[in-house]
Each structure stands twice: as structure tokens, then as C-alpha cells.
Amino acid sequence: MPARCRGAFFLLLIPLSFLAAGCRNKTDLVEAELRSRDRQYRESLEEQQRSEFRIMSLQREIEALRQGAKITPEQAAQTFGLKRIVLGRATGGLDSDGLPGEEMLQVVVEPRDGEEHSIKAPGSLQIIALEITPQGIKTPLCQWDIPPEQVRQSWKQGLLSTGYTLTLPWKTFPVTEQVRVVVRFVTPDQRMYEADKDIKVRAVPGATQMRVELVPDAMPIPCPWPVPEMGPTLLPTSRVTTSSSPASNQWRPLTEAHGVTIGRPVPID
């Protein structure tokens, strides 16, 4: 009798196991289909964004041509095809003399189009370095303005990054290792793109002593008041009865840089 019960139990268990396997297979198929649909949706969304960006680029090109700008097809693709800028991996401190500390800053700017390809877009650069204190306070450190011609000559193509590579000596040496680099790229049609990156630099020995500390009391006044060259000439308010000459009965003009002189007393009615 127990053997018959065990046999009946196995007979009932076999269909249930097949049913569970079938459900598992259906679940896997549904999940695979959902992943495929999600991938197709993302690809379609990216293609739509690229199409919208191409339309905007063509609109800017048409507006420039209507204003009489002389643009070649290559210049148009580089100028109006720019979508954003990225700071490359090589952006950071640079040691060129072999001594302790990094006495230069290297900045790699990668202009990219709608398909995330690096393009040699024309424009000027403004690079700002901010020093970050241990308390998180950001203070301006250095600023460089790079004209378009110098930017064009700094284009480099490498394995890790392709873009404008600039090597800039510090105008003021940082004393902390945390520095934020902010880059603004301005195209010929006055569009501005901005990117920033936090980097770590090795401070030059003695940078703290070389840093000139400004004392608030010793700072120059931004808009000093002008010192009058001649003082005012004041006339008495009543009639003068005794006078030897008209000029002797009035306040004399200022003769020194600071102070006034008082004339001879004159009796009045």
C-alpha cells in the first residue's frame, strides 16, 4: 500500500514539474522580449535626439547664410555641428622640470557633435582655475584667455583623447591639491559651451611662502574720492563797510594740499 501511494505521488509530481518548467520558460521569454523592446526604445530615442540636433544645426547654418556669412561645408559641419565640450582624461597638473611639484596645468578640450564624435570646431577658450580649500571653499586662482588662432594650433589626435591640448604655466601656484578647472568655449557665432572638472595637483614646495597674502587694511580703495586742486572761495554774507580792496575782504583760496587760510577780520554792520 505505501508503494502505491508513493507511485501515485510521483505520478502527480511529474505533471507539476513540467508545468513549472513551462512557466519558467515563458517568464524567461517575456523578460527577453521586454529587454529587446527596451533596447529598441532607447535606440529610437537616441536617433530622434540626433535628428533633432541635425535639424537645429541646419537651421543655424541657414540663418548664418542669410546674414551673408561665407562658410564652406567643412566649416559649417564643425561650427554648427558642435553639441557640447568635454574635458579629457589628460586634464590635470603637469611636471615638466622633474622637480617636486607640478608647475603647469594641462587642459584637454574635446568638442563633440550630436553623435559624440570629436570635431575640430573653431572658437576661443577661457580657462579658469579655482582652488578648493579643505573646507570646500572655492577661490579664484588663475585665468587664461586663448584666442582662436592659438586654439586651432593646439589640436592633437591621440589614442586616449582627441581635442585641443593646452599646456599652461600657473600664474599663481596652488597650495592645496584640490583644483576645479572651468572651461568656456565660444564659437564664431557667439555660442558658449562650458565644462568643468575637479582635479588633484601636487603643490610646488614653498608655494605658501610665494603666495602674496593681501591684508584688508592695505588693499587699495576701488574708487578713491578725488582731491580738489583749489579750495572754495567764500564771500561774507553782509555788506563790508571798511575795505582797502575788494579781494582783501573775502576768504582766500586754498594754498596747500590740506587746510585753508583765514583772511584779515573785517568789521560788519
Q: Are residues 165 and 264 in the same domain?
A: no
Rg, the chain, Cα only: 39
- DSSP code string of 97-147: SSSSS--EEEEEEEEE-TTS-B-----EEEEEEEEE-TT--EEEEEEEEE-
Which of 188, 210, 232 is the last residue before a domain boundary?
A: 210
Is 79 within the bounds of a domain?
Answer: no
Is 76 within the bounds of a domain?
Answer: no
For residues 60-82, average pLDDT: 66
How does DSSP classify residue 249? G
Q: Are residues 51 and 94 in the same domain?
A: no
How confident is residue 155, by pLDDT bands cut at 50, 70 and 90?
A: very high
Sequence-separated (6 or more) residues with CB below 8 Å from residue 131: 138, 139, 140, 141, 174, 175, 176, 178, 179
User: What is the rounded average pLDDT for all residues in the chain?
Assistant: 75
Which of 26, 42, 70 is the last residue before a domain boundary?
A: 70
Which of 192, 210, 228 is the last residue before a domain boundary?
A: 210
- Residues 97-139 have pLDDT tens digits of 888 889 999 999 999 988 888 999 999 999 999 999 989 899 9
Q: Are residues 189 and 149 in the same domain?
A: yes
More confident of the two residues 117 and 74: 117
pLDDT at 107: 96
pLDDT at 35: 83
Give residue 55's domain range: 1-70
Is 192 within the bounds of a domain?
Answer: yes
Q: Are residues 235 and 262 in the same domain?
A: yes
Q: Are residues 111 and 162 in the same domain?
A: yes
pLDDT surpassing 60 at residue 220: no
Is 158 within the bounds of a domain?
Answer: yes
For residues 225-251, average pLDDT: 46
Q: Are residues 89 and 206 in the same domain?
A: yes
Question: Is the CB of residue 159 less than 8 Å from the CB of residue 144?
Answer: no
Q: Are residues 237 and 205 in the same domain?
A: no
pLDDT surpassing 90 at residue 71: no
Is 57 within the bounds of a domain?
Answer: yes
- The residue among 177, 105, 201 whose CA lies nearest residue 146 is 105
Sequence-separated (6 or more) residues with CB below 8 Å from residue 248: 263, 264
pLDDT surpassing 80 at residue 85: yes
Q: If 0-12 CB within 10 Å is exposed, 13-18 middle and 19+ buried, where does residue 71 land?
A: middle
CATH number of residue 152's parent domain:
2.60.40.1940
How far apart are alpha carbons 155 and 166 in whole angstroms? 9
Is 176 within the bounds of a domain?
Answer: yes
Q: What is the model's pTM?
A: 0.58
pLDDT at 246: 47
How does DSSP classify residue 3? H
The tally of domains found in the chain comes to 3
pLDDT surpassing 90 at residue 143: yes
pLDDT surpassing 70 at residue 4: no
- The residue among 82, 60, 61 whose CA lies nearest residue 73 is 61
Is 247 within the bounds of a domain?
Answer: yes
Q: Are residues 199 and 230 in the same domain?
A: no
Q: Are residues 91 and 185 in the same domain?
A: yes
